[in-house]
Amino acid sequence: MRYINVSKIKEGMLLGQDIFDTNGFLLLRRGQPLHRTYIDRLHKIGINGLYIEDELTDDIKITPVVKPETRMNAVKNIRTMYLKAASNWGETDNVVDEAVAAVQHIADEIFFCAKPIYDIYEFKTEKDYRYYHTINMTTIAMIIGTGLNMKKQELRMLGICAAFCDIGLNNYDQELLESSNSLSEEEINAIKNHPVTGFSMLSEKRGIHARIRQGVLHHHERWNGTGYPGHLKGDQISLFARIIAIADVYDALISNRPYRPAVMPYEAFEYIMANGGILFDPDIVKVFTRKVAAFPVGTKIMLSNGNKGYVKFNYSDCALRPVVKVFDRKEMKIIDLKNDPGALNLTIQSAAE
């Protein structure tokens, strides 16, 4: 199985993953040949790319930490909660409880996974970016949490905090948030108040732990004090918020937005690394580099010797040196960049088109 950009999809390719809408309904089933009507539909809903199956990469297996049905149930419940919160937050207790339960289910799957690492491309659409992004960054945050040896209950709280951190954005014009135009200083300052709004909204709900509310309030603070709303520095920022800051920025960078295209995962990975000790907690960045793959499984890559191939397996303790399947003089070869003595001089130069 391999990942391709949506612009590279051709008729007849076999779909390598189930495609769901935000209500959890199956749109396309894994193994279906992609006909022109399907391809046009995928373009229309604004996906970045998808996995396809072929003989070349049939030995490359994608194993998500969170089951697709668990993830899509969470997307559906988060969407329902956010939409109802926008009209009447005071009467959302039931949908809040359902969203919490959906996030806890993700937390439990991550907690009981032997070696959780985020090394796949998650399906998302531009139209429903907010809901997919919420669950993606929630998943990434909790995977980082396992690297900090969090117990199950703390991991659940971290996930709920991540899933609720942008609830305060409901008070703002959604077209404004998705606009490709430059915002005025007044509009930017208003949006920067959403952590305070979210904190206040969650304070109205029973059963929302103080650490969750604090994480929501702090999630846009930055290690060097340049964040908002309180310009907090270093350990003044809550642990949950320091984790979520990294997960939030990483998933946003690898997503298409109205004002810029997505970057490749390895580019977002390098951005996070470069800002350790500046924007982000350097110790958590170190955990991030073990728990999030620079080159997800199925990525087409080019090695420093010019050979091209695909990532087959990622090591959680060596994110930049995975096992790869490459073309070498018209034959396929498996190279373990971490453990093969003959490969120590090779590096992944880039993700190839």
Q: What is the DSSP string of 28-85?
A: E-TT-B--HHHHHHHHHHTB-EEEEE-GGGTT-----SS-HHHHHHHHHHHHHHHHHH
- Residue-level pLDDT at 25: 82
In the chain, which stretches have pLDDT less than 70? 173-180, 353
Helices (runs of H) and strands (runs of E) counted in the chain: 12, 10
Residue pair 60/325 in contact by the 8 Å Cβ criterion: yes
- Residue-level pLDDT at 184: 80
Neighbours of 45 (CB within 10 A): 15
- Residue-level pLDDT at 228: 96
Q: Helix or strand or coil: residue 330? A: coil
Residue pair 80/133 in contact by the 8 Å Cβ criterion: no
- Residue-level pLDDT at 316: 83
Instruction: Give Cβ neighbours of residue 276 (< 8 Å, ≥ 6 apart).
Output: 282, 285, 286
Q: Which amino acid, one-letter code, is at 207?
A: G
Neighbours of 180 (CB within 10 A): 8
Segment 65-107, tens digit of pLDDT? 999 999 999 999 999 999 888 888 888 889 999 999 999 999 9
Q: Which amino acid, one-letter code, is at 343?
A: A
In angstroms, rounded to a whole number, what is the distance separating the alpha carbons of residues 164 and 268? 23
Neighbours of 93 (CB within 10 A): 11
Instruction: Give Cβ neighbours of residue 120 (< 8 Å, ≥ 6 apart).
Output: 62, 64, 296, 297, 298
Residue pair 138/163 in contact by the 8 Å Cβ criterion: yes
Cα separations in angstroms, 344 against 303, 309, 322: 12, 17, 12
- Residue-level pLDDT at 300: 95
- Residue-level pLDDT at 174: 66
- Residue-level pLDDT at 180: 65
Instruction: Give Cβ neighbours of residue 288 (< 8 Å, ≥ 6 apart).
Output: 144, 147, 246, 250, 272
- Residue-level pLDDT at 353: 60
| Sign of the four-CA dihedral 87, 90, 94, 96 | positive
Buried b (16+ CB within 10 A) or exposed e, 301-338: bbbeeebebbbbbbbbeebbbbbbbbeeeeeeeebbbb
Max Cα distance, the chain (Å): 65
In angstroms, rounded to a whole number, what is the distance separating the alpha carbons of residues 336 and 350? 17
